[in-house]
């Protein structure tokens, strides 16, 4: 069965299905991540969400400016608690404080439509080696208790976004689904609390990851065109991986006595760069196919009815860990500057994606490898390594958008990425005399040399009074120069931030206290913090597909 109907009746049915998208998919959500060197201002993002009819958003934290911008927007919000906070929230008092500051306060002060609290983010990933197994449930339990105490438990529900690797099937069929034996009791403990409190099970499903890690995975089975050989599960046929994966979870819940527990698809999407299978065509095909697949409210064989889902993700994030793969920075349906990356109709409006408005960019200039510089120069390799380690070179390499560049083009791309991330400062284009600034766009074919957007500073900095800022600057500079005498500086950039690596100078003062003091009195100083390793998204994700 192909994508294109062969009869006039088939054409009519297809038109009816497309028109019905506006009715059925008006609740599609999106994941709004902020691991970027240059974030779009939250008010611009919220306007973009509203103009595209995206009525639900899933956050990975509870950042003040983001929640304030979402106030009175009517957009349903899922606020997030990072994994590194789970231990802290093992204290009921800490959970009550968190709920008061990040749920109660935004609800009352800004009228934010908070509907869910995501406790952790894929905390049971196999690649975490059980790091959060014993801290997730206590945090979940305490957050739920805090919501009850605050009188919000009927309005705001808890959930734990879990990767699809928490369940498996010995038979290779959805009907064989059950939770992984090594974490079974931990998952059931969570499932029971969710069920007792009318809360949903949230799962992240990624067909792309299955294709990425399994060379034998049938490509067509990742999509929704109906071109793949179906999987026969006792007379129930699965034509795509999403349905098979989703229903494996349904079977797992049913076998453990929770057949009716609501399910949210917390993340689903396709990246556009960083791998040979991560490209604009596949991303458009997958995401549009998914929208059409859920448009009629048909659901899956085991769970008929509308599917509650959040696309991953809204915007590209150029500071994400690339440990899973270079594609991690390219999941957005919008670019870092809020431009649609391909035509996509979410079924929420009568048009394709609408770009962000009011985005301010830096000047149209780029940093490139000097035309007269020699490739054999001994400084070329360390300069490129330096730039790529501190910027974003994930569009370079086999099968990527910039794979057609020659050696000089690759060097220029690396130089420009570092230059743009550092706000086009002249010093950021030196590279031992190998770089030069040009106003002629070096972009070519599918390879775009970006111009960065203007940096956004959160209101936490702007709220400081002038007196505190003045006194803080004096003390901050004293600490800064004192530190400079004691530390080995590897990267200093006067761009509103000062980046450096801490050594062992303040032996009598703990690093945490020293950092707290430094930030308190000089808020424009930040210590560069490497993002915590993010294990392969779905590296052990359930991959169910026809054999042969």
| Residues annotated catalytic, as ranges | 122, 267
Residue 328 CB contacts under 8 Å (≥ 6 apart), including other chains? 271, 274, 320, 321, 322, 394, 534, 537
DSSP 291-322: HHHHHTS-B-SSSBS--EEEES-SB--TTS--
DSSP 352-411: S----SS--B--S-EEEE-TT--TT-TTHHHHHHHHHHHS--TT-STTSTTTT--HHHHH
Cβ–Cβ < 8 Å for 525, 518: yes
Cβ–Cβ < 8 Å for 339, 40: no
Task: Work out the number of other CB atoms within 10 angstroms of the CB of residue 531.
Answer: 12
Cα–Cα distance between 282 and 268 in angstroms, integer?
A: 14
Cα–Cα distance between 201 and 192 in angstroms, integer?
A: 10
Cα–Cα distance between 461 and 440 in angstroms, integer?
A: 36
Cα–Cα distance between 537 and 323 in angstroms, integer?
A: 10
Cα–Cα distance between 293 and 323 in angstroms, integer?
A: 31
Cβ–Cβ < 8 Å for 401, 395: yes
Cα–Cα distance between 334 and 345 in angstroms, integer?
A: 13
Cα–Cα distance between 536 and 428 in angstroms, integer?
A: 32
Task: Work out the number of other CB atoms within 10 angstroms of the CB of residue 337.
Answer: 18
């Amino acid at each position: 069965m192909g994508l294109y109907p062969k009869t006039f009746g088939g054409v009519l049915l297809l038109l009816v299905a497309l028109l019905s998208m506006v009715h059925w998919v008006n609740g599609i959500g999106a994941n709004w991540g902020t691991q970027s060197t240059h974030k779009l201002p939250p008010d611009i993002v919220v306007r973009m969400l509203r103009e595209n009819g995206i009525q639900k958003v899933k956050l990975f934290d509870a950042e003040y400016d983001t929640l304030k911008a979402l106030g009175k927007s009517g957009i349903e919000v899922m606020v997030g608690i990072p994994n590194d906070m789970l231990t802290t929230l093992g204290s009921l008092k800490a959970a009550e404080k968190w709920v008061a500051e990040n749920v109660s306060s935004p609800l009352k002060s800004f009228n934010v439509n908070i509907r869910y609290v995501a406790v952790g983010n894929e905390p049971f990933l196999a690649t975490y080696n059980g790091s959060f197994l014993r801290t997730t449930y206590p945090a979940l339990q305490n957050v739920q208790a805090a919501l009850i105490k605050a009188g919000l438990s009927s309005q705001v529900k808890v959930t734990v976004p879990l990767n699809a690797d928490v369940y498996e099937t010995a038979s290779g069929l959805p009907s064989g689904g059950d939770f992984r034996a090594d974490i079974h009791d931990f998952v059931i403990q969570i499932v029971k609390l969710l069920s007792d409190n009318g809360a949903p099970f949230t799962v992240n499903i990624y067909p792309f990851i299955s294709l990425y890690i399994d060379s034998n995975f049938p490509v067509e089975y990742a999509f929704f065109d109906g071109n793949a050989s179906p999987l026969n599960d006792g007379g129930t046929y699965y034509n795509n991986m999403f349905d098979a994966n989703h229903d494996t979870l349904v079977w797992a819940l049913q076998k453990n006595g929770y057949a009716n527990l609501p399910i949210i698809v917390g993340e689903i999407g396709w990246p556009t760069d960083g791998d040979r299978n991560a490209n604009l065509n596949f991303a458009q095909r997958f995401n549009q196919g998914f929208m059409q697949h859920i448009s009629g409210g048909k659901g899956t064989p085991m769970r008929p009815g509308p599917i509650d889902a959040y696309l991953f993700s809204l915007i590209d994030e150029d500071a994400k860990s690339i440990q899973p793969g270079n594609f991690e920075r390219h999941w957005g349906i919008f670019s870092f500057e809020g431009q649609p990356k391909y035509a996509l109709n979410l079924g929420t409006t009568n048009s394709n994606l609408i770009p962000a408005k009011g985005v301010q960019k830096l000047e149209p200039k780029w940093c490139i490898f000097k035309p007269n510089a020699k490739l054999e120069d001994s400084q070329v390799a360390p300069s490129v390594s330096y730039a790529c380690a501190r910027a974003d070179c994930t569009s370079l390499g086999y099968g990527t958008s910039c794979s057609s560049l020659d050696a000089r083009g690759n060097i220029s791309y690396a130089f420009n990425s570092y230059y743009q991330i550092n706000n086009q400062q002249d010093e950021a284009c030196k590279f031992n005399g190998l770089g030069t600034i040009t106003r002629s766009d070096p972009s070519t074919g599918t390879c775009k040399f970006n111009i960065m957007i203007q940096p956004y500073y959160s209101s936490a900095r702007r709220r400081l009074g002038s007196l505190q800022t003045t006194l803080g600057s004096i003390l901050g500079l004293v600490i800064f120069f004192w530190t400079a005498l004691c530390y080995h500086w590897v990267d200093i950039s006067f761009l509103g931030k000062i980046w450096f690596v801490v050594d062992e100078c303040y032996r009598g003062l703990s690093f945490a206290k020293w950092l707290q003091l430094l930030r308190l009195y000089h808020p424009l100083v930040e210590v560069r913090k490497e993002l915590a390793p993010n294990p392969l998204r779905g590296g052990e994700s359930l991959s169910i597909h026809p054999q042969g």
